Structure 1
Amino acid sequence: MRFAAYEHQHQCQVAVIGEDGRLHPVPGERTLTELITAGVLSEAGATALDASAGPHVSQVRLLPPLRPASVRDFVTFEEHVEGVRRSVDGASGVPDAWYTAPTFYFTNPHAVFGPHDDIPVPPGSQVLDFELEVAAVIGREGRDLTPEQAGEHIVGYTVFNDWSARDLQSAEMKVGLGPCKGKDTATALGPYLVTADELEPYRDAEGFLRLALTAEVNGQVVGKDLLSNMSWTFEEMVAYASRGTRVVPGDVLGSGTCGNGGCLAELWGRRGERTPPPLGPGDTVSLTVEGIGTLTNTVVPGADLVPLSAGRRRSRERP
């Protein structure tokens, strides 16, 4: 099933999308996260499909399909690592340590945007970028899972755009704490949550989902890849995320950015110049994932930068 969260006539609702694009509202006022947490998503969807259809999906404002409990963003594509390291850090190749585990960082669950939402330029940034990813959504709590167990904990998938202020990212990563404000102001999810069973026909012999990925800027294709070029499966990523801790319903795990133009920074690193140029107000980015849908957003001006003083060099007195 394909689930959408939407606003129509000043009311927010969750619905299943029928084959004709009509929305079948789920009874009650529960969010998708609440349905997932309660373990009743499939039952609620089946009940909704048996009822009368509501408006067509084109007649409503789509919202983010869910409000995540947390967002872990991985980096699982070698080609992306190669290109972005060259662009952001001036380094080349892939570090040997990258191959030892599916590295991730936590990003901001309070800065989630939906399909067609405007994306403000982060304050102080002049080098805004998109990142084409797919996200797995956790449906059941688990801890210290094996990859074989982890598949039962994935309820579905959605398209994920990790908006990135490359100039802020490059400066702050010199401190050694990873991306912070460079990734803090916008993550877009949507257009739908597609249940895991819907994508099983795309699974290859190694356990990867062979989905075609396409990135467009202002209607021009800038990137194409396959999700199966990941170096770890989603099941392996979930197992790693659960190591020594919990994954809980509503957690979102991003695949990391695909290669071959999954973001502008990769292209800049390979070409040695910023072509296409960084994103600015008026630019529209559309990310399409086979079997899931298209996530489209337009960049708009953001807030003015509020300046801060430089850090004080202290005397280091002791009591």
Structure 2
Amino acid sequence: MKLVTFEKNGAQSIGILDGEKIAVLDGAANPAFASMLALIEGGDEALDAARKAQGSASSVDLGAVRLLAPLPVPVQMRDCLTFEKHLRQCRSTMSKIDPNQRDLEPEDVQLAQVWYDQPVYYKGNRFSVSGMDDQIIWPKGETRLDYELELGMITGKGGMDIRKEDGQDHVFGFLIFNDFSARDHQMLEMGGGLGPAKGKDWATANAMGPCIVTKDEIGDGSGLEMVARVNGEEWSRGNSSTMHHSFGRILEHVSRDERVMAGEFFGSGTVGGGCGLEMNRFLEPGDVVELEIEGIGVLRNKVGPRQ
């Protein structure tokens, strides 16, 4: 199923997306349909009820509603860095931007061994999530605003010390994630030994959507073609098969000595070639950014005016 959260006449609802129609899941009829988080926490029983309800549910036209982020406030947000090509190309560009660094080509970039040994990640602001067609705020003073083409995963059940081979049992589904990044802010603050912080954290920065595709339709998220377009022009193309660490491995690492909850968000990190920094090419006010992932759909956002 393709599950969405939408707003109509000021009220939020969830439903099942089928082409240009949404089958509305009635929260008054079943408490598990009250919100996307309620559906996720309801487990397999709630998903089965949603499938059964789809045939008799009332429907609305997709064009008559406003799509929100499928999970408007995730329980937790972690974004990983699992694509080697992305990391190498970003560091190569950064070396050319910074006059105090020696110019490096991607193949000359030395990666820390820890990156190969375990997934590395940061925790994002779960209250700064935006959805389909939301305008993205331009951070004050920024000159290098960037998009990032990522695959996002939502957990369906919690657990502690999850084994990699059991990771798929904890997956609810997948969505598209645009991890908008303020590169000036990010490069400055990470020189202090921590971060990212304001390079990632501002209202609207975490764009998600347009739907959550349940794992029975999309599997483990591997082998998906990923494309980014700016104003209709293709800027990026990659494939989720190039993740160095799988989502199972990510769950294994994160849940070590720590409980993961249902309704958490995990980002794959940016696919190789999947952001402007890798090309030293950045967004402008008014740009329309479309991210497309095979089997999920298209997430579209417009960049707001410079502040």
TM over 0.5: yes
Tell me the residue number matched to 1:24.
23
1:189 to 208, 213, 224: 208
Residues 161 and 189 in structure 1, CA contact (< 8 A), matched pair in contact too: yes
2:87 to 81, 91, 105: 81
Q: Pairwise mapping of residues 2-151 of structure 1 onto structure 2 (< 5 A)?
A: 2-18=2-18, 20-28=19-27, 30-39=34-43, 40-66=45-71, 67-88=73-94, 92-151=109-168
Residues 121 and 280 in structure 1, CA contact (< 8 A), matched pair in contact too: no
Unaligned residue ranges in structure 2 (runs of 5+): 29-33, 96-100
Secondary structure at 2:38 match in 1: helix
Secondary structure at 2:229 match in 1: strand
CA RMSD of aligned residues (A): 1.5
Secondary structure at 2:78 match in 1: strand
- How far does residue 95 in structure 1 lie from its aligned partner after superposition? 2.8
**Distance of 1:237 and 1:41 partners within structure 2:** 26
**Distance of 2:5 and 2:262 partners within structure 1:** 17
Residues 25 and 57 in structure 2, CA contact (< 8 A), matched pair in contact too: no
Tell me the residue number matched to 2:237.
224
**Closer, same or farther: CA 88–110 of 1 in aligned 2, 3 Å:** farther
Q: What is the TM-score when the length of structure 2 is the normalising length?
A: 0.89
Residues 138 and 145 in structure 2, CA contact (< 8 A), matched pair in contact too: yes
Higher strand share: 2
Q: What residue identity is the alignment partner of 2:160?
A: R
Residues 214 and 288 in structure 1, CA contact (< 8 A), matched pair in contact too: yes
For 1:184-211, what per-residue CA distance to the aligned partner results, in whole angstroms no more than 9, with x for missing partners?
A: 01100000000011012xx6xxxx6100
Tell me the residue number matched to 1:213.
226
Greater C-alpha radius of gyration: 1
Tell me the residue number matched to 1:169.
186
Residues 76 and 231 in structure 1, CA contact (< 8 A), matched pair in contact too: yes
Secondary structure at 1:237 match in 2: helix
2:195 to 171, 174, 178: 178
**Distance of 1:34 and 1:126 partners within structure 2:** 40
Q: What is the TM-score when the length of structure 1 is the normalising length?
A: 0.86
Secondary structure at 1:79 match in 2: helix
- How far does residue 53 in structure 1 lie from its aligned partner after superposition? 3.7
How many residue pairs match? The answer is 287
Please state if 1:266 is matched with 2:266: no
**Distance of 1:53 and 1:17 partners within structure 2:** 12
**Distance of 1:93 and 1:224 partners within structure 2:** 24
Please state if 1:285 is matched with 2:289: yes
- How far does residue 118 in structure 1 lie from its aligned partner after superposition? 0.3
Which ranges of 4 or more aligned residues in structure 1 deviate by more than 4 Å? none
Deviates more, 1:25-34 or 1:144-153: 25-34
For 1:148-199, what per-residue CA distance to the aligned partner results, in whole angstroms no more than 9, with x for missing partners?
A: 1221000100000100000000000000112110010110000000001101
Q: What residue identity is the alignment partner of 2:255?
A: S
